[in-house]
Structure 1
Amino acid sequence: MLRWRGLDDIPADWGRCVVTIGVFDGVHRGHAQLITRAIRAAKERGVPAVLMTFDPHPAEVVRPGSHPPQLSTLTRRAELAEELGIDVFCVMPFTPILASQTPKDFAHEVLVERLHAQVVVVGDNFTFGKKAAGNVDTLRKFGERFGFEVEAVSLLGEHAVTLSSTYIRSCVDAGDVATATEALGRPHRVEGVVVRGDGRGSDLGFPTANIAPPMYSAIPADGVYAAWFTVLGAGPVVGQVEPGESYRAAVSVGTNPTFSGRTRTIEAYVLDTSADLYGQHVAVDFVARIRGQVKYDKVSNLIDQISADVDQTRLLLP
């Protein structure tokens, strides 16, 4: 799969293509419908399928300080798009200049002059251009004028629920990772680097990997979760596990109220391994919520509860 960082990476001799446009945060089941339709249209015409996404999130440029929690990193989005069969992953830097483009200028300069789009596939709620003035009907009018087709895909899922990143963020924020999984088509993932903590987990008999996620990551509500813990990249320490290895993990999200903590952390007790995980780039795939965050009067009660959480994790992730 080709990866372009902006329009300048497009070859001068680039031919026609089918393009699907959106932020694609999470590459959820609704996005998969768009991508699948774009790939099908591209194969029918014998041209490449291009996915165009934006970075940073448009909301942050239009309304600074309003960046929503991210369901996936750009790298993850590219991996998921490639798995679905996209030929080119194009990241458009979302700048104030791009935000100020009129719908007509975006359609002509980006879709026609640079991408040579033959078909444009979007969600039926798609908006574009300055102040989101353009919509699907606008795009169709420009398509008739400039020579490209437009296909709008409904993102409705089961029970008439719109499969949107906003909906999934609300599920994650509430700790409802099971419903988030249904909408995503896979468990919600948080990536990060394992950093040094205060060592309290080891003192309790349950040493944890403390994960520092990227800025804006969508973190589930405080509580304890059963999750898959996967090493994505090897760190600098000799003896660390190989990338791609996955383990079951009981993951605590919260402030450690039993110890009067104030900083919100993600701590994973990784089962069935004693590997050195410090410095590793890892992913936590949240499968099920076991319980909410609780403050215990006695440390012994907390230890008993952690032991029960581990047993529950083994049951949920056989």
Structure 2
Amino acid sequence: MALKQSIRVEVRERTDASEVRRQAMQTARALGFGEEREGRVALLATELAGNLFKHAGGGEVLLRIVEEEASPGIELLGLDRGPGMKDVGGCLRDGFSTAGTPGTGLGAMRRLSDQFDLHTHPGKGTAVLLRVFRKRPPRAGSFQAGAVCLPVAEEPVGGDAWAVAVSGSRGRLIVVDGLGHGPLAAEAADAVLRAFWRGPFLDLEELFAFLHEASRHGRGAACSVGEMDLGAERIRFAGVGNVAGMVVHLDGEKRWMPRAGTLGAEKVRPGVQEVPWTPGTMLLLHSDGLTSRWSLDQYPGLTRRHPALQAGVLYRDWARGTDDVTVAALKADQEEDGP
């Protein structure tokens, strides 16, 4: 899967929907969407931003490019801290409205999207995920992945990066935090990702030695890698620096802290850690742009939703706002409860 940093558009006024639509259509054209698919993207962007303003008084839309089965697509993630929904099923029916409007919002968005999911919590807000692909929707694979990856506000690019590699029943999630901010930090993170793609399924100790060598001519970086192996029924984690990890399963949460150090500065053995994998288990990595005071126990039902929603909700509520931030999640692609 090719994964990109997100574009953030804040929605404070009704007219902000036009900027969300502009960004979405510009991306669709760059990806070679046809007229009908581009029209879908425009309508979805407008409806999503309009709903944020009408029902929550505002919020933000995160847009990024996704790629599954070599078919590029656009992801729109709407986040708000509004009142939430008491009747999700009712809100998804066409014609249902709590704002005195025609009520075509969520129902139309679900119909027009290739992938749709949402999470809502009364009193805390709502997160809505929409994806449209250039061609037909991709088939279900072994894994689902999602992320929020954003630069600190004053920088044009961020020093964080992430990716997912999949080989059969194995999935590896990597999050990199280049030292500092801005273009030089982005170059440091890109150097690590380029090295990762040259051997994404190397033994974890060997992989980190390789990533260290690739980082020696730049600023250096922090990095963590998590692996979900469905065949061996295990999850493994290794890291150097400040990118934290967590496994969420039926019995609770386990936090993983990486070894102290910096790739490119000093060679550090990452210290591979392992726990059993069971159905429903989720792997999550995040840079230090996210605080560590949260627990998914605070969000009933969120672990059953798409990983992009998990990343979005944690970003919405726990981003520091003073640093680049990345939250990335991975889980086995199993049947989900309907939103």
Hey, which of these two has a bigger chunk of helix by percent? 1
Hey, which of these two has a bigger chunk of strand by percent? 2
